[in-house]
């Protein structure tokens, strides 16, 4: 183990190096670019033995990863924003074909107006594409989830691709101290990739085939079941990771001071740290507040949410997303769990940080005040206020 001062992207690249992918397809896009730059340098200086393929588009990057995965290779690619959207067709080929590809997505706003700054509208618009979706908070969790994602994706019960989401710039371009595990420990955690779901001359089979109405629905059900089963694999993976590396993230969600909390804020990604500090500050004043970080959006952590929220009076969902004409998509998902389980609590949605707008400590305090006093259900934070003021 060594300590280094790395950006979120650098840290993720270190995690990918430790996972030893055999094929990496790359197509740079801001703010993902430095991940594929670091991986190129690693291949160049032989610290990573991998076939690095510089393709001509994001559509090709994922197609290439699918082809390599269909040969039984551990594969990696990365993208962001419009690049992810350009991949949309291939996302469903990868998940439907059950190829356990790991992809990093640098969360960035979507056009138009064109903008390269961070928000979560790119990946949340692809929530239904059949990929496991993870949202990480800091550079260490980025590195750790690069490794863990292969462990989850390649489990034969799961055999589903994983998209790891890092908030653009705020996480991808912020440098901080990161522990880099040894290759020996990484190898102990993550065995080489083995699969039956591959082209093989010794064991020829049909892959990526057509299925008509007579059986198609069964394939989709099996795919859904694998995603549901991944919840257990995610928790087992976290436990195994903790045993070897001494860090645990709690599985699908991570809670903070929720035991007797009346008001709980639900977060995803890099804003979680600041929200924890605000929880501490309000707790010192005697306010019963807590926080629940959603680490996985698919599979959706329904059981964790019920357990965490059942005694709360009001909860808020803070997300960098809006589904135009309705509300934030994470909020819709959370409300569904609350309705199905008959929880009696008020729910509020806080849409913030679109197109890279800063979310301040004061914003988070306002959100907790709103949870306690009540008010509108869907709220846009910092709307109409210049960040320079």
Site residues for other proteins per CB under 8 A: 3, 5, 30-31, 116-118, 138, 168-171, 173-177, 270-274, 276-277, 356, 358-361, 387
For 111-150, give the secondary structure using H, E and C.
CCCCCCCCCCHHHHCCCCCCCEEEECCCHHHHHHHHHHHH
Minimal distance, residue 6 CB to other proteins, in Å: 10
> Angle between the 361-373 and 272-284 helix axes, to the nearest 10 degrees?
60
Q: For other proteins, give the closer residue by CB, 10 or 327.
A: 10
Minimal distance, residue 111 CB to other proteins, in Å: 15
Minimal distance, residue 248 CB to other proteins, in Å: 16
Report whether 136 contacts 269 (CB < 8 A): yes
Q: For other proteins, give the closer residue by CB, 333 or 363.
A: 363
Q: For other proteins, give the closer residue by CB, 115 or 125.
A: 115
> How far is it, in rounded angstroms, from Cα 327 to Cα 252?
23
Minimal distance, residue 314 CB to other proteins, in Å: 24
Q: For other proteins, give the closer residue by CB, 22 or 360.
A: 360
Q: For other proteins, give the closer residue by CB, 151 or 173.
A: 173
Q: For other proteins, give the closer residue by CB, 76 or 368.
A: 368
Q: How many CA atoms lie within 13 A of 139 on its CB side?
A: 23
Minimal distance, residue 294 CB to other proteins, in Å: 17
Q: Burial of 250 by CB count in 10 Å (0-12 exposed, 13-18 middle, 19+ buried)?
A: middle
Cα angle, residue 165 at apex, residues 160 and 170 outer, rounded to 5°:
170
Q: Give 280's contacts (C-beta < 8 A, 6+ positions apart).
A: 257
Minimal distance, residue 38 CB to other proteins, in Å: 14
Q: For other proteins, give the closer residue by CB, 169 or 193.
A: 169
Q: Burial of 176 by CB count in 10 Å (0-12 exposed, 13-18 middle, 19+ buried)?
A: middle
Q: For other proteins, give the closer residue by CB, 7 or 75.
A: 7
- How many CB atoms are closer than 10 A to CB 170? 21
> How far is it, in rounded angstroms, from Cα 286 to Cα 288?
6
> How far is it, in rounded angstroms, from Cα 234 to Cα 238?
6
Report whether 78 contacts 50 (CB < 8 A): no
Minimal distance, residue 292 CB to other proteins, in Å: 16
Cα 384 to chain centroid, rounded:
29
Minimal distance, residue 247 CB to other proteins, in Å: 13
Minimal distance, residue 365 CB to other proteins, in Å: 12
Q: For other proteins, give the closer residue by CB, 95 or 270.
A: 270
State whether residue 90 is helix, strand or coil. Answer: helix
């Amino acid at each position: 183990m060594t300590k280094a001062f790395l950006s979120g992207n650098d840290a993720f690249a270190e995690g990918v190096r430790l996972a030893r992918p055999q094929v990496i397809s790359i197509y740079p896009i801001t703010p993902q670019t430095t991940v594929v730059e670091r991986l190129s340098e690693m291949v160049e200086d032989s610290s990573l033995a991998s076939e690095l393929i510089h393709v001509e588009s994001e559509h090709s990057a994922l197609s290439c990863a699918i082809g390599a995965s269909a040969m039984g290779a551990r594969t990696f690619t990365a993208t962001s924003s419009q690049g992810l959207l350009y991949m949309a067709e291939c996302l469903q080929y990868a998940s439907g074909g059950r190829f356990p590809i790991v992809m990093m997505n640098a969360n960035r706003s979507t056009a138009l107006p064109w903008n390269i700054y961070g928000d979560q509208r790119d990946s949340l618009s692809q929530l239904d594409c059949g990929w496991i979706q993870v949202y990480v908070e800091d550079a260490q969790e980025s590195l750790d989830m690069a490794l863990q994602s292969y462990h989850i994706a390649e489990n034969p019960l799961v055999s589903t691709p994983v998209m790891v989401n890092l908030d653009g710039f705020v996480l991808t371009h912020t440098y901080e101290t990161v522990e880099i595990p040894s290759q020996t420990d990484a190898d102990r955690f993550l065995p080489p990739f083995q699969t039956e779901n591959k082209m093989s001359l010794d064991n020829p089979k049909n892959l990526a085939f057509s299925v008509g109405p007579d059986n198609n629905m069964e394939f989709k059900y099996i795919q859904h079941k694998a995603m549901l089963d991944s919840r257990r694999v995610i928790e087992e993976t976290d436990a195994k990771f903790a045993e070897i590396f001494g860090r645990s993230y709690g599985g699908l969600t991570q809670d903070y001071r929720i035991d007797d909390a009346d008001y709980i804020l639900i977060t995803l990604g890099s804003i979680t740290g600041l929200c924890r500090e605000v929880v501490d500050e309000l707790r010192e004043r005697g306010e019963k507040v807590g926080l629940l970080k959603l680490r996985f959006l698919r599979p959706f952590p329904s059981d964790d949410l019920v357990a965490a929220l059942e005694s709360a009076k009001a909860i808020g969902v803070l997300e960098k997303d809006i589904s135009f004409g309705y509300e934030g998509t994470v909020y819709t998902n959370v409300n569904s769990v609350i309705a199905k389980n008959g929880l009696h609590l008020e729910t509020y949605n806080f849409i913030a940080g679109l197109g890279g707008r800063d979310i301040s400590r004061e914003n988070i305090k306002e959100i907790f005040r709103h949870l306690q006093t009540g008010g509108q259900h869907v709220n846009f934070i910092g709307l109409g206020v210049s960040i320079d003021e």
